[in-house]
Structure formats: C-alpha cells, structure tokens
Amino acid sequence: MTFNIGANLKRLRRGRDITQEELSTLLGVSPQSVSNWERGDCYPDTELLPKIAYYFEVTLDELFGMSNQREAERIADALYTEGDGRFIARSPEELFTSLERWREIAGDYPHNDLAQLRYASRLTTAESLDGAEQDRKNKRLAIALLEKVLGRSTDSAIRNEAESMLVRAYSSAGETRKARELVKNLPNAYQTTENAYCYLSVFDKNFREQTDKDQIKAMLLSSAFNLTLSLNGLLSALDGTFTVGLPRVDYGLPKKWRAVKDATTEVIKSIQEEEK
C-alpha cells in the first residue's frame, strides 16, 4: 500500500500557514526531517504520527491518505448530482439544498480545496432563509474561505476559479478596490478552456482521431454555452439591463449587437427550459 504522508503533510502545513522550521520546532525535530518527509524520502517516526494528526486536527487515516478515496468519491457524487457544479435555472429551494449539502461536505473535509470552493460558491449563490443579515454573514464567510484556498492551493484550476469567485464576493461585500485588483490576475477570454477545446477540435488531427466524436460534441456544446452566457452578460451590461440596483447605467449597446444579444438570450432560455 502506498502512503501519501509527505504530500498530505505539506498540504496541511500550508493550510495552517506555517513554515517547515516552525513545524519542526513544534515536533522537536530538525527542519531537514520535515523537508525529507514532505519530499517522500522517509516517514515520520511512529510515535510522532499521533502528535502530527492531533496538531492538524485530522485522523491518522487522513494523514496517511487512506481516506482520500472516500473523500474524492463523496465529492464526485455531489458534483454529479448537481451537474458537475453548473447551476442553470435552479429554484431557491434547490440552491438552499445544495448549500446545506456542501456545508456538510466542507465541514467534513476542511482541507479539501474543491469542497471549500463549492461551499463558498453556494454561500454566495443561495439566499438565506434567515434574511439579509445572514446573507451578509454568508458572503463574509465565503470571502474567508476563498482567501484561505488561495493562500494554500497550488492547483491552477482551483486558484483561477477561486479568484473569479472572490471578485464577485468582494463586489457583493462592497470591497470594490479588492475586486478591481484581483481582476488583474484572471486570464483573459483567449486563455479559456472553451477556446482551447475549439482549437484542438479544429486544428489538431490527432485530437480528433483519439477523441470520441460524441465527446467532442459534448465538449464544444458545453463550451459554447459558457461563452454564450458570458457574451450575453457583456452585452446586457452595455445596455444596462444586467445592472443590479439603481441607478441603471446604460453604456450604449451598438445597434449591430442587439440581434446578437437577442439571439443569445433565446438560446439561454431554451437550454434552461430543457434542463428544468
């Protein structure tokens, strides 16, 4: 059996925002020992394992990585149930059910960045049944979770999604300056998964030969939908119909773009109706 103590220890240490030197002091070992553990060159002595688990508030199974499969399966099941994290025309009741689902999962797996990310997303999406004050608390909690994920995650996909969500969370909380600064870190429209799939499908013969035709179709349709949502949002922002609150700001949607906006609106409505 292969243990993942090194990788888990590194992740847990970063989650606590402490250095190898600080951890070595807590455990009474040399910094080099901690470095060797995290590289996988050797394991901590047996008598140190309970102390490490206690400090990071995890079980020995979690420290060894033995519970990782169960954790991954539970998160995968939740994503599958909800359409892999995509929300289209969901009712307030469904959003609230999702919030409670991810609250429980995130509580059980506090060091899983994807679980924390999905929980933060639901905190900013589902309106609380307890009123505006609870909504504000939920948004503050979402910001704290997202900032924590960004502070420890090295996964580029997780970081990109967390930054994008945090822009919206900062804005909702009235922290426009932070939102504006964070926007600079986000990829532009040409650096998206959607554009990459489009490129591969059109220009890469090997990709077309090695990938099932139906799979390519599903990829492209999903990508097209995401881009349609973005384009519709941009055009709606231009004519002010996407503006939340007052006063409405109309930046001026050029006449030649109005037909595009109308078409994207119809496509989105049609797909949302199909998924109800």
Judged against a pLDDT cut of 80, whether residue 88 lies above it is answered with: no
What are the pLDDT digits (tens) for 22-67?
999 999 999 999 999 998 889 899 899 999 988 988 888 778 876 6
Domain 5-64 listed as CATH 1.10.730.10: no
Sort 129 into a burial class: Cβ within 10 Å, 0-12 / 13-18 / 19+. exposed
- Pseudo-torsion of CA 80, 85, 86, 87, nearest 10°? 100
Helix axes 92-108, 113-125, angle to 10 degrees: 150
Average pLDDT for residues 227-251, to the nearest whole number? 83
Q: 223 with 194: CB under 8 angstroms?
A: yes
The domains of the chain are located at 5-64, 71-186, 190-275
pLDDT above 70 covers what percent of the chain? 91
Average pLDDT for residues 225-230, to the nearest whole number? 89
What is the predicted pLDDT for the residue at 184? 85
Judged against a pLDDT cut of 70, whether residue 129 lies above it is answered with: no
What's the CA gap between 24 and 274, in Å, rounded?
56
What's the CA gap between 99 and 73, in Å, rounded?
19
Please determine whether the domains at 5-64 and 71-186 fall in the same fold group of CATH: no
Average pLDDT for residues 241-263, to the nearest whole number? 84
What's the CA gap between 24 and 168, in Å, rounded?
39
> pLDDT band at residue 1, thresholds of 50, 70 and 90?
very low
* Mean per-residue pLDDT over the chain, rounded: 86
Out of 8-12, 162-166, 201-205, 253-257, pick the least confident: 8-12
CATH class of segment(s) 71-186: mainly alpha
